Amino acid sequence: MSSTAAQAAGALAAPATGTIPRHVAIIMDGNGRWAKKRFLPRFAGHKAGVEAVRRVTREARAIGIEALTLYAFSSENWRRPEEEVSDLMGLLRHFIRSDLDELVRENVRLRVIGDYRRFAPDVVEMIDDAVARTGGNDGPILAIALNYGAQAELAAAARRCAAKLPPDRIDEAAIEAELQTRDLPPLDLLIRTSGEQRLSNFLLWQAAYAELLFVDTLWPDFDEAALREAVAAFGGRQRRYGGL
């Protein structure tokens, strides 16, 4: 194992031991259906989705979850109409402008996973600035997945491993050390809202031993109580990691 791989597999590798998951990831799905049910434009659903992001990130901190990863824009979302992509970018800009001070104050470390450098230059600059402003914090991690795709992440990790190591030294730890989530705790719980039961190219490697929870609630309706219920469901699961 390389020394970086050994480091990655060391301190951070311990999964949750109690009933509180250390790392929770959420596929925030159902904004469009939420809006449709109310005869509102899809934008209204995404806007309400941002409110849910705010509620859930606050509640995750209150519960003591160490890392929360949110799937805000997948590498496949470019296929949506230009207007919707632009609306999502607008909401991201707005979220950073309105919530960054709170994140800094609350000791949150903001991270971004995904190839967000393909976004408009002003958004890239805002993201880099926001990440830098929380860089001195040492509290919970809020990771936002932007233009993220797990297969692309794995292909990039494989390329980096191949450039550094002979084939027989490329093991699980070496790959893990090249993932964008390398400084996050192991993924304990992955939630998808809106009744769909797919991973949609999200954290495929990291989900290897995560508990999966699919809930019918549409993302804009997901609230503090829903997160607490999800954490309680996690606490009731038996994790065997392939053992008995």
* Opening angle at CA 162, ends 161 and 167, nearest 5: 100
- Nearer to ligand FPP by C-beta: 108 or 177? 108
Extract the runs of DSSP E, i.e. beta strands, from the chain: 23-27, 67-74, 109-113, 141-148, 189-192, 211-214
Please give the annotated binding residues for substrate, written as ranges. 30-34, 42, 46, 74-76, 78, 80, 192, 198-200
Catalytic choice (77, 171, 201, 221):
77
First-to-final CA distance of the chain: 28
33 in contact with ligand FPP (CB under 6 A)? yes
7 in contact with ligand FPP (CB under 6 A)? no
- Nearer to ligand FPP by C-beta: 198 or 228? 198
- Burial of residue 163, with CB atoms counted within 10 A of its CB: 0-12 exposed, 13-18 middle, 19 or more buried: exposed
- Nearer to ligand FPP by C-beta: 21 or 220? 220
223 is catalytic: no
Are 124 and 117 contacting, i.e. CB atoms less than 8 angstroms apart? yes
30 in contact with ligand FPP (CB under 6 A)? yes
Give the phi and the psi of residue 179 in degrees, each rounded to 5.
-75, 155
Helix (H) / strand (E) element for 117: namely none
32 in contact with ligand FPP (CB under 6 A)? yes
- Interface region with ligand FPP, contact rule CB under 6 A, candidates 4-12, 23-31, 59-67, 162-170: 23-31
Distances in whole angstroms, Cα of residue 61 to Cα of each of 58, 90, 107, 115, 157: 5, 26, 10, 26, 30
165 in contact with ligand FPP (CB under 6 A)? no
Of 7, 77, 137, 201, the one binding ligand FPP by CB under 6 A:
77
77 is catalytic: yes
Strand partners, 23: 67
Please give the annotated binding residues, written as ranges. 29-34, 42, 46, 74-76, 78, 80, 192, 198-200, 211
Are 70 and 203 contacting, i.e. CB atoms less than 8 angstroms apart? no
Task: Tell me how far apart the alpha carbons of residues 86 and 97 are, in angstroms, rounded to a whole number.
Answer: 17
Residue number closest to ligand FPP, CB atom: 32
- Nearer to ligand FPP by C-beta: 87 or 171? 87
Tell me the closest approach of the beta carbon of residue 92 to ligand FPP, in angstroms. Answer: 5
Are 8 and 160 contacting, i.e. CB atoms less than 8 angstroms apart? no
Tell me the closest approach of the beta carbon of residue 146 to ligand FPP, in angstroms. Answer: 8
72 in contact with ligand FPP (CB under 6 A)? yes
57 in contact with ligand FPP (CB under 6 A)? no
Residues near ligand FPP (CB under 6 A): 28-33, 46, 49-50, 53, 70, 72, 77, 88, 91-92, 95, 144, 194
Residues tagged active-site: 29, 77
